[in-house]
Homo-oligomer: A and B are copies of this chain.
């Protein structure tokens, strides 16, 4: 008898659509019309039913709706665990949009490197009949995932991806501009030997950030020898390793731009352990404005992108047409990142 769920519970039973129909003296179907704002019905009837619904505190059973519609009122969040804070902020934004709707958020981490990843996601979407999914970077860059969503008729929004020509399925920030601004900031301070710690190959965000960096240098007429570019993996440890390699250069760079805060924190850590003073001997700029950026010493100058707002926008794009939000309120697809100046940048020593 193991594995048998308990019998249904009468104690917490709530009014059903039949109760409402009986109380209002109409048919189930008419009540359904009121709930879904579908079909046409008389104002008197609608009002009468709405009163009954309000008085009884009736709420439609999501499971029954899901079964009848073949579609659940769940939004999936699919991610590959790049950064705890980012995921959580994204959740926060999505949940803000879902608050006071019938939707719930289901979290689904996946393993990008697994060959079963696509099948995992497919079975997740199909089995749960998800209403929609939000794809977080970096897996949002995988086109096959987007095609999969189309295929199984599941709405989707890709975060921070490069598919900029499709505002319905895409929410991004202007990383490139922000990196350019950050790099210009270093240049304006007088830095000329600026190191870059890149993100991992194959990541769109890494490519975009690097592009911006190189553009800003070229714009200022500064040459960028290959040796000043160190590969990073977006992790703290890779930041340390990359910093070490840059520190070994003669002369040392006077500033380092790290493509995310984790790595920037690694640079700072490595500098400390070598006794390199920050910002006096070395300026550092990071990216993301995760909490760590403000908690290290000196606090890191970095680039902030509005994750929470982007999460909210992504969710609204998905549920927009199912809620009473007016369709004119198109959610923005691109968000502006800004440079946050803290204490890790100073002019280079003479």
Contact = CB atoms under 8 A, between A and B. Distances in A.
Interface string A60-102: 0111101101111010000001001101110110010000000
A316 interface: no
B297 A128 contact: no
Q: How many copies does the complex hold?
A: 2
Given A6-B153, A71-B6, A126-B14, A107 B84 contact: no
Contacts of A69: 5, 8
24 contacts: A2-B324, A4-B36, A5-B322, A6-B71, A9-B70, A9-B152, A11-B151, A12-B151, A12-B153, A59-B127, A63-B63, A63-B72, A66-B66, A66-B67, A84-B291, A87-B88, A91-B107, A95-B107, A104-B106, A105-B106, A106-B107, A268-B297, A273-B297, A296-B297
Given A1-B38, A5-B322, A6-B153, 5 more contacts: A4-B36, A8-B69, A11-B152, A84-B291, A87-B88
Interface residues of A, number: 70
9 interchain residue pairs of minimum CB distance? A8-B70, A272-B297, A63-B66, A84-B88, A63-B67, A9-B153, A4-B38, A265-B295, A3-B37
A297 B297 contact: yes
A248 B43 CA distance: 71
B88 A37 contact: no
Contacts of A92: 81, 109
A4 B322 CA distance: 7
A323 interface: yes
A193 interface: no
Interface in A3-41: 3-6, 8-9, 11-12, 14, 36-38
A215 interface: no
